[in-house]
Amino acid sequence: MELLSRHLNLRVLGLLLPLVFLVHVAEEAPSFVTWFNSLVTPGITERLFLTVNLIAFLITLVLGLALAAARERAIAVMTVGWVGFLMLANGIFHIVATIVHWRYSPGTVTAALCYLPISYLVMRSVVRECGVSWPAITAVALLSGVPMYVHGYLIVFEGSRLF
Protein backbone atom coordinates (compact mmCIF):
# COMPACT_ATOMS: atom_id res chain seq x y z
CA MET A 1 0.00 0.00 0.00
CA GLU A 2 2.83 2.40 0.82
CA LEU A 3 4.34 1.82 -2.64
CA LEU A 4 1.05 2.77 -4.28
CA SER A 5 0.73 5.74 -1.93
CA ARG A 6 4.12 7.10 -3.00
CA HIS A 7 3.15 6.99 -6.67
CA LEU A 8 -0.18 8.75 -6.15
CA ASN A 9 1.30 12.22 -5.85
CA LEU A 10 -0.32 15.44 -7.02
CA ARG A 11 1.09 15.07 -10.52
CA VAL A 12 -0.48 11.64 -11.01
CA LEU A 13 -3.71 12.56 -9.25
CA GLY A 14 -4.06 15.68 -11.40
CA LEU A 15 -3.90 13.50 -14.49
CA LEU A 16 -6.35 10.98 -13.01
CA LEU A 17 -9.05 13.51 -12.12
CA PRO A 18 -10.44 13.98 -15.66
CA LEU A 19 -10.35 10.22 -16.24
CA VAL A 20 -12.21 9.50 -13.02
CA PHE A 21 -14.79 12.11 -14.00
CA LEU A 22 -15.31 10.49 -17.41
CA VAL A 23 -15.74 7.05 -15.84
CA HIS A 24 -18.36 8.46 -13.48
CA VAL A 25 -20.29 10.17 -16.28
CA ALA A 26 -20.13 6.96 -18.33
CA GLU A 27 -21.89 5.17 -15.47
CA GLU A 28 -24.46 7.96 -15.09
CA ALA A 29 -25.21 8.77 -18.72
CA PRO A 30 -27.47 5.91 -19.76
CA SER A 31 -30.14 6.48 -17.12
CA PHE A 32 -29.41 9.46 -14.87
CA VAL A 33 -31.83 11.87 -16.56
CA THR A 34 -34.69 9.37 -16.30
CA TRP A 35 -33.84 8.65 -12.65
CA PHE A 36 -33.52 12.36 -11.83
CA ASN A 37 -36.79 13.25 -13.56
CA SER A 38 -38.59 10.54 -11.58
CA LEU A 39 -37.76 12.51 -8.42
CA VAL A 40 -37.68 16.17 -9.44
CA THR A 41 -40.10 18.60 -11.02
CA PRO A 42 -39.21 20.33 -13.23
CA GLY A 43 -36.92 17.70 -14.68
CA ILE A 44 -33.84 18.11 -16.82
CA THR A 45 -33.12 17.27 -20.44
CA GLU A 46 -30.38 15.07 -21.85
CA ARG A 47 -28.94 18.20 -23.43
CA LEU A 48 -28.71 19.95 -20.07
CA PHE A 49 -27.12 16.86 -18.51
CA LEU A 50 -24.51 16.74 -21.27
CA THR A 51 -23.85 20.50 -21.20
CA VAL A 52 -23.34 20.58 -17.43
CA ASN A 53 -21.03 17.57 -17.61
CA LEU A 54 -19.05 19.00 -20.52
CA ILE A 55 -18.42 22.21 -18.59
CA ALA A 56 -17.50 20.23 -15.45
CA PHE A 57 -15.15 18.05 -17.49
CA LEU A 58 -13.38 21.07 -18.99
CA ILE A 59 -12.90 22.64 -15.54
CA THR A 60 -11.65 19.29 -14.19
CA LEU A 61 -9.27 18.91 -17.13
CA VAL A 62 -7.82 22.42 -16.76
CA LEU A 63 -7.37 22.11 -12.99
CA GLY A 64 -6.02 18.56 -13.25
CA LEU A 65 -3.45 19.56 -15.87
CA ALA A 66 -2.49 22.69 -13.92
CA LEU A 67 -2.04 20.61 -10.78
CA ALA A 68 0.05 18.01 -12.63
CA ALA A 69 2.22 20.69 -14.23
CA ALA A 70 2.75 23.11 -11.36
CA ARG A 71 1.81 21.48 -8.06
CA GLU A 72 1.69 24.95 -6.50
CA ARG A 73 -0.18 25.53 -3.26
CA ALA A 74 -2.77 27.92 -4.76
CA ILE A 75 -3.59 25.55 -7.61
CA ALA A 76 -3.70 22.61 -5.22
CA VAL A 77 -6.12 24.34 -2.84
CA MET A 78 -8.28 25.47 -5.76
CA THR A 79 -8.35 21.89 -7.03
CA VAL A 80 -9.39 20.62 -3.61
CA GLY A 81 -12.24 23.12 -3.68
CA TRP A 82 -13.36 21.82 -7.06
CA VAL A 83 -12.96 18.18 -6.02
CA GLY A 84 -14.91 18.93 -2.82
CA PHE A 85 -17.77 20.28 -4.91
CA LEU A 86 -17.71 17.95 -7.88
CA MET A 87 -16.52 14.63 -6.50
CA LEU A 88 -16.81 14.51 -2.71
CA ALA A 89 -20.24 16.15 -2.40
CA ASN A 90 -21.54 14.45 -5.55
CA GLY A 91 -20.28 11.10 -4.32
CA ILE A 92 -22.11 11.54 -1.03
CA PHE A 93 -25.23 12.62 -2.95
CA HIS A 94 -25.35 9.40 -5.00
CA ILE A 95 -24.87 7.16 -1.99
CA VAL A 96 -27.46 8.99 0.13
CA ALA A 97 -29.96 9.04 -2.76
CA THR A 98 -29.59 5.29 -3.26
CA ILE A 99 -30.12 4.61 0.44
CA VAL A 100 -33.04 7.02 0.93
CA HIS A 101 -34.96 5.88 -2.15
CA TRP A 102 -33.94 2.22 -1.95
CA ARG A 103 -33.05 2.22 -5.64
CA TYR A 104 -29.87 2.71 -7.57
CA SER A 105 -28.93 6.30 -8.33
CA PRO A 106 -26.93 6.12 -11.59
CA GLY A 107 -23.37 6.97 -10.63
CA THR A 108 -23.36 5.37 -7.18
CA VAL A 109 -20.77 2.71 -7.99
CA THR A 110 -18.17 5.16 -9.27
CA ALA A 111 -19.11 7.61 -6.52
CA ALA A 112 -18.21 5.02 -3.89
CA LEU A 113 -15.28 3.40 -5.66
CA CYS A 114 -13.73 6.41 -7.40
CA TYR A 115 -15.05 9.80 -6.27
CA LEU A 116 -14.69 9.34 -2.52
CA PRO A 117 -11.24 7.70 -2.64
CA ILE A 118 -9.76 10.22 -5.09
CA SER A 119 -11.17 13.09 -3.03
CA TYR A 120 -9.34 11.77 0.02
CA LEU A 121 -6.15 11.09 -1.95
CA VAL A 122 -6.06 14.60 -3.42
CA MET A 123 -6.64 16.14 0.00
CA ARG A 124 -3.95 13.95 1.58
CA SER A 125 -1.46 14.80 -1.16
CA VAL A 126 -2.10 18.53 -0.78
CA VAL A 127 -1.42 18.18 2.95
CA ARG A 128 1.78 16.21 2.32
CA GLU A 129 3.16 18.04 -0.70
CA CYS A 130 2.00 21.61 -0.15
CA GLY A 131 2.10 21.87 3.63
CA VAL A 132 -1.59 22.74 4.03
CA SER A 133 -3.04 21.53 7.32
CA TRP A 134 -5.71 18.83 7.49
CA PRO A 135 -8.22 21.17 9.17
CA ALA A 136 -7.71 23.82 6.47
CA ILE A 137 -7.95 21.45 3.52
CA THR A 138 -10.96 19.69 5.03
CA ALA A 139 -12.68 23.06 5.47
CA VAL A 140 -11.95 23.95 1.83
CA ALA A 141 -13.36 20.64 0.57
CA LEU A 142 -16.47 20.71 2.76
CA LEU A 143 -17.31 24.39 2.28
CA SER A 144 -16.83 24.13 -1.48
CA GLY A 145 -19.36 21.32 -1.53
CA VAL A 146 -22.12 23.36 0.12
CA PRO A 147 -23.95 24.17 -3.15
CA MET A 148 -23.94 20.48 -4.06
CA TYR A 149 -25.04 19.45 -0.57
CA VAL A 150 -27.99 21.87 -0.79
CA HIS A 151 -28.79 20.78 -4.35
CA GLY A 152 -28.57 17.12 -3.35
CA TYR A 153 -30.80 17.65 -0.32
CA LEU A 154 -33.42 19.34 -2.48
CA ILE A 155 -33.33 16.51 -5.02
CA VAL A 156 -33.41 13.62 -2.57
CA PHE A 157 -35.71 14.98 0.13
CA GLU A 158 -37.78 17.74 -1.49
CA GLY A 159 -38.12 16.69 -5.15
CA SER A 160 -36.81 20.04 -6.35
CA ARG A 161 -33.48 21.48 -7.40
CA LEU A 162 -31.19 24.38 -6.77
CA PHE A 163 -30.25 24.87 -10.43
Which stretches of 25-127 are assigned E, i.e. beta strand? none
pLDDT tens digits for 87-126?
A: 999 999 999 999 999 999 999 999 999 999 999 999 999 9
pLDDT tens digits for 124-140?
A: 999 999 999 999 999 99
| Angle formed at CA 95 by CA 25 and CA 124, multiple of 5 degrees | 80
* Global model pTM greater than 0.85: yes
Domain positions in the chain are 2-158
pLDDT tens digits for 27-36?
A: 999 999 999 9
Per-residue confidence (pLDDT) for residue 12, from 0 to 100: 97
